[in-house]
């Protein structure tokens, strides 16, 4: 079946540090991949996405590359800010067959200290 | 567009009471979802709908009911509230074939 595995948090970094949050997936066919972000007290919002192998999604300084050979979609940012403190969710949508539901990772909490 | 709106923002229920969480979207999205998020945890799908008149169970449907009489509205009903239903509830919607889900701001529910 389809599944998403994220690295466990919490992740605590100092401002301007490099961030990587690992995400790997299992899926049949060729899924689309997403990173969502949830700021404290808010709902989730789409951060970036990639719809096919080797695509790179990017937004707000965050990047993730769809790696089919390693079934991964790791989130990276070169220099984090305090305002990046949030929970980050990796998700996939299977484009083959039943794609009514997104498959979600468990989320990774990030705290950035000044 | 207002996007996805949810009411109320906060609610405290006593054990055994019932209530309806409202969700409305103005983006003409066919697909709508209800999730619950327990403290420090990920999302769990309660129910979803792929169009007016069509609903289906998610991972954790027990203790909840939904209806979808219009494209815009997808209310979630809690019957006989229990402390285990203390959570934050999120409604979301999307267009078929597009992975981006639009989330409402959430309803924080406490059952005591």
B3-49: pLDDT as tens digits:
999 999 999 999 999 999 999 999 999 999 999 999 878 899 999 99
- Note the pLDDT of residue A98: 60
Contact B101 A42 (CB under 8 A): no
User: What are the phi and psi torsion angles at A85 (to 5°)?
Assistant: -60, 120
What share of residues in chain A are helix, strand, coil (percent, to 5)? 5, 50, 45
CA distance B70 to B68: 6
Q: Please count the residue pairs, one from chain A and one from chain B, whose beta carbons lie less than 8 angstroms apart.
A: 50
CA distance B92 to B1: 15
How large is the greatest C-alpha to C-alpha distance in chain B, in angstroms?
Answer: 40
- Note the pLDDT of residue A97: 60
Contact B104 A43 (CB under 8 A): yes
Helix (H, G, I), strand (E, B) or coil at A40: coil
B33 exposure class (CB count in 10 Å sphere: 0-12, 13-18, 19+): buried
B74: left (phi over 0), alpha (psi -120 to 50) or beta: beta
Question: What is the rounded average pLDDT of the residues B87-104?
Answer: 91
* Helix and strand totals (H; E) in chain A: 0, 12
Low-confidence stretches of chain A (pLDDT beneath 70): 96-99
Q: B1 CA to chain A: closest CA distance, Å?
A: 16
Contacts of B40 in chain A (CB under 8 A): 109
Give the C-alpha distances (Å, rounded to integers) separating B78 from A93, B20, B43, B52: 29, 6, 18, 20
Q: Is B23 on the interface with A (CB under 8 A)?
A: no
Q: A114 CA to chain B: closest CA distance, Å?
A: 23
Q: How many residues does chain B have?
A: 112
| Residue B15 CB neighbours (<10 A) | 11
CA distance A1 to B91: 25
- Note the pLDDT of residue A24: 97
Q: Which of B6, B99, B105 to mutate to test the interface with A (most CBs of A within 10 A)?
A: B99
CA distance A6 to A4: 7
Per-residue pLDDT tens digits for A64-88: 999 999 999 999 999 999 999 999 9
Q: Which of A102, A105, A110 to mutate to test the interface with B (most CBs of B within 10 A)?
A: A102
CA distance B108 to A27: 33
Contact A43 B48 (CB under 8 A): no
Give the C-alpha distances (Å, rounded to integers) separating B34 from A55, A59, A80: 30, 27, 32
């Amino acid at each position: 079946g389809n599944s998403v595995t994220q690295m466990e948090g919490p992740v605590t970094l100092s401002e301007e540090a490099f961030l990587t949050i690992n995400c790997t997936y299992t899926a049949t066919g060729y899924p689309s991949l997403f990173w969502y972000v949830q700021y404290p007290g808010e709902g989730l919002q789409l951060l970036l996405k990639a719809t096919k192998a080797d695509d790179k999604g990017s937004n707000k300084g965050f990047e993730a590359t769809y790696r089919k050979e390693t079934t991964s979609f790791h989130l990276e940012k070169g220099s984090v800010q305090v305002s990046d403190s949030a929970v980050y969710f990796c998700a996939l949508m299977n484009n083959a067959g039943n794609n009514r539901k997104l498959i979600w990772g468990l989320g990774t909490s990030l705290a950035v200290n000044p | 567009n207002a996007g996805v709106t949810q009411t109320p923002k906060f609610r405290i229920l006593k054990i055994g009471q019932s209530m309806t969480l409202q969700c409305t979207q103005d983006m003409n999205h066919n697909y709508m979802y209800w999730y619950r998020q327990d403290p420090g945890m990920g999302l769990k799908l309660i129910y979803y709908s792929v169009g007016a008149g069509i609903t289906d169970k998610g991972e954790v449907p027990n203790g909840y009911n939904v209806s979808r009489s219009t494209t815009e509205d997808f209310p979630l009903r809690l019957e006989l509230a229990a402390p285990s239903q203390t959570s934050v509830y999120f409604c979301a919607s999307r267009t078929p074939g597009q992975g981006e889900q639009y989330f409402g701001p959430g309803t924080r529910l406490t059952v005591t």
